[in-house]
Amino acid sequence: MQQRLQKLLSQGGFGSRRACEEFIRQGRISVNGEIAELGAKADPDSDNITLDGEPLHLRPPKQIYIALNKPLNVLSSTARHKGDDRATVRDLVKRPGHLFLIGRLDADSQGLVVLTNDGELTHRLTHPRFQHTRSYRATLYGLPDGDALRKWERGVWLPEEESRTAPCVVKVVRNSQGLAVVEIIMAEGRKRQIRRVANALGHPVRHLKRTHIGRLGLGDLKPGQWRELDAKELTQLKTPDSALRRSQQPRPPRGQRRPPRRRRDFRRPTARKRTPGRKFRS
């Protein structure tokens, strides 16, 4: 069956869909001896597909989905950078073949990331236009008041980017000893976004942990541990948290709100006095 080339390449583990589109733009992909153009389709069972002249075997491999609790000071990278000897998530998950990373985290943050060879799912869960949710638990210095929380939820202006963050859900879990623990549900993923917003509101982050991607949670994974996802967990991964969508539904204007329901009165009615009717002669 014919499919778009970038999708076939991504499913075959040759990079993200964007990276595979770039291979095609650069003229590195050929189908049956002819250089392919972006948008071209091919059948991996009958067409000869090559990258830089080398034949590609694009039969989809067995799909792998792994949840990892990324520890602190481990890089969210599937390759080691030159001159940087810090451990990466691939040092923790020793599986053959190329794996994509869903849900990058800063080195000084910990929590849930997902590794997979499913390039199509990676695109769907990481591209900004799909608005897939991620949930975090952050420990903040100071006790944010209601005004600060409302500003955070509505969006905070970041002057270095000259733009406002997207709406999110922020709930205080507990306050103690000058620290506040908050839960954040968001669909936006700017670089170090939670830390920058918290700083702008005067409550720097002491500790940050991602707890969910979509509806998939860490479960009992300890830092550095990982597990393969079952079918139920894969569905949870693909399902966004509905709390963010509910919070973004606009309330109707005051004049258009539904009037309050009238309550029925179940008290026994008082008996009416009968008035004698007019008598008619027969």
DSSP string, 223-268: TT-EEE--HHHHHHHHSPPHHHHHHHSPPPPGGGSPPPPPPP--SP
Find the mean pLDDT for residues 90-95: 91
pLDDT band at 248 (very low <50, low <70, confident <90, very high): low
Mean pLDDT, all residues of the chain: 87
Task: Check whether 282 has a pLDDT greater than 50.
Answer: no
Task: Check whether 186 has a pLDDT greater than 50.
Answer: yes
Residues carrying CATH 3.30.2350.10, the chain:
65-217
Cβ proximity of 95 and 81 under 8 Å: no
- pLDDT value at residue 280: 44
Percent residues over pLDDT 90 in the chain: 59
Q: What is the pLDDT of residues 37-88, one digit of tens each?
A: 998 999 888 889 999 999 987 776 788 999 999 999 999 988 777 778 889 9
215 vs 255, more confident: 215
Task: Check whether 219 has a pLDDT greater than 90.
Answer: yes
For the domain spanning 65-217, the CATH number is 3.30.2350.10
Find the mean pLDDT for residues 198-225: 97
Outline where DSSP puts E strands in the chain. Answer: 3-4, 29-31, 34-35, 41-42, 49-51, 54-55, 65-70, 100-102, 110-116, 134-141, 157-158, 163-164, 169-176, 179-186, 205-213, 216-217, 226-228
Task: Check whether 212 has a pLDDT greater than 90.
Answer: yes
Catalytic residue list: 106
Amino acid at 22: E
Cβ proximity of 47 and 32 under 8 Å: yes
* Torsion sign (Cα): 145, 149, 154, 160: positive
pLDDT band at 182 (very low <50, low <70, confident <90, very high): very high
Task: Check whether 262 has a pLDDT greater than 80.
Answer: no
Find the mean pLDDT for residues 105-114: 96
- pLDDT value at residue 82: 77
- pLDDT value at residue 123: 87
Task: Check whether 144 has a pLDDT greater than 90.
Answer: yes
Tell me which DSSP letter residue 274 carries.
Answer: P
Task: Check whether 260 has a pLDDT greater than 70.
Answer: no
Task: Check whether 206 has a pLDDT greater than 70.
Answer: yes
| pTM of this structure | 0.72
Cβ proximity of 141 and 202 under 8 Å: no
Nearest alpha-carbon partner for 140 in 183, 193, 204, 197: 204
Task: Check whether 230 has a pLDDT greater than 70.
Answer: yes
Quickly name the fold that domain 3-55 has.
Answer: 3.10.290
Find the mean pLDDT for residues 258-272: 60
> What's the CA gap between 160 and 126, in Å, rounded?
23
Q: What is the pLDDT of residues 115-133, one digit of tens each?
A: 998 888 998 899 888 889 9
Residues carrying CATH 3.10.290.10, the chain:
3-55
Least confident of 56-65, 98-107, 179-188, 212-221: 56-65
